[in-house]
Amino acid sequence: MEDKNACAAVLPVSTLTEPLLLPGKGAGLATADDPEAAQLPSYGGASFSRTCLNLTNAVSGIGVLSMPYAVAQGGWLSLALFALVGALCYYTGTLIERCMRADPAAVASYPDIGELAFGSAGRSAIAAFMYVELYLVAISFLVLEGDNLDKLFPGARVELLGGYNLQGKQLFIALAAAVVLPTMWLKNLGVLAYVSAVGLVASAVLTASLVWAGVAETGFHRNNTSALNLSGLPTSLGLYFVCFTGHAVFPTIYSSMKNNKHFSRVLLISSVLCSVNYGLTAVLGYMIYGDGVQSQVTLNLPSGKLYTKVAILTTIINPLAKYALLAVPITAAIEEKFSLPAGSGPARVSISTVVVVSTAVVASTVPFFGYLMSFIGSFLSVMATVIFPCLCFLKIYKAEGIRRIEIAVITGILMIGVFVAVTGTYTSLQQIIGTF
Q: Which residue, 58, 40, 63, is CA-closest to 270?
A: 58
Crossing angle for the helix pair 345-365 and 110-152, nearest 10 degrees?
Answer: 60
344 within domain boundaries: yes
Close Cβ partners of 380 (under 8 Å, ≥ 6 residues apart): 15, 129, 132, 133, 136, 245
- Tell me the percentage of the chain whose pLDDT exceeds 70: 83
State the burial class of residue 12 (Cβ atoms within 10 Å of its Cβ: 0-12, 13-18, 19+).
Answer: buried
Spatial distance between the Cα atoms of 140 and 128, rounded to a whole number of angstroms? 19
Could you tell me how far CA 282 lies from the centroid of its own chain? 18
Q: How far apart are CA 210 and CA 110, in angstroms?
A: 36
In single-letter form, the type of residue at position 384 comes to A
What is the per-residue pLDDT for 30?
35
- Please report, for the domain that includes residue 53, its CATH number: 1.20.1740.10
How many domains does the chain divide into? 1
| 28 within a domain of the structure (yes/no) | no
Residue 417 lies in a domain: no
**Type of residue numbered 256:** S
Q: Is 374 within the bounds of a domain?
A: yes
d(CA 290, CA 308): 18
Q: Is 201 inside any structural domain?
A: yes
Predicted confidence at residue 196, as pLDDT, reads 63
Residue 22 maps to a domain: no
Q: Is residue 270 one of the residues assigned to a domain?
A: yes
With a cut of 50, list the residues of the chain below it in pLDDT.
Answer: 1-43
Would you state the pLDDT for residue 341?
67
Q: What's the pLDDT at 40?
A: 35
pLDDT of residue 190: 66
Task: Note the pTM of the prediction, 2 decimals.
Answer: 0.79
Q: What is the pLDDT of residue 340?
A: 72
424 in any annotated domain: no
User: What is the pLDDT, as a whole number, of residue 78?
Assistant: 93
**What DSSP string runs through 189-202?**
-HHHHHHGGGHHHH
Containing domain of residue 250, as a range?
48-411
Q: How many residues does the chain have?
A: 436
